[in-house]
Each structure stands twice: as structure tokens, then as C-alpha cells.
Amino acid sequence: MPDEITCLIVDDHEVVREGLRLSLSRASHIRVIGEASDG
């Protein structure tokens, strides 16, 4: 198994963040640690 990747999702559109979170949740080696609407 590859090393775990941690990521923070940042986008000003909630629907985009939700879609990214859903897509990334399917990959067992990627962990979403949070979200932000601006950065």
C-alpha cells in the first residue's frame, strides 16, 4: 500500500468541496483533514 496522503480541500463553492471530498474518500490512501471556503 502506498504512503498515506493527507489533504485539505479549499474552494469557495461548497458543491465542489463536497464532490472532491466524496471522490477522495474512495481512495484508501488519501485522508482529508479539513475543508475551507477561502484561503
Helix (H, G, I), strand (E, B) or coil at 14: helix
Contact 20, 9 (CB under 8 A): yes
What is the reported pTM?
Answer: 0.80
Cβ distance 24 to 32 under 8 Å? yes
Q: What are the pLDDT digits (tens) for 14-38?
A: 999 999 999 999 999 999 999 999 8
- Structural domain spans, the chain: 5-36
Q: How confident is the model at residue 1 (pLDDT cuts 50, 70, 90)?
A: low
* The three three-digit cell numbers of residue 31, written as one number: 485522508
Contact (CB, 8 A) for 31 and 6: yes
The amino acid present at 7, given as its one-letter code, is C
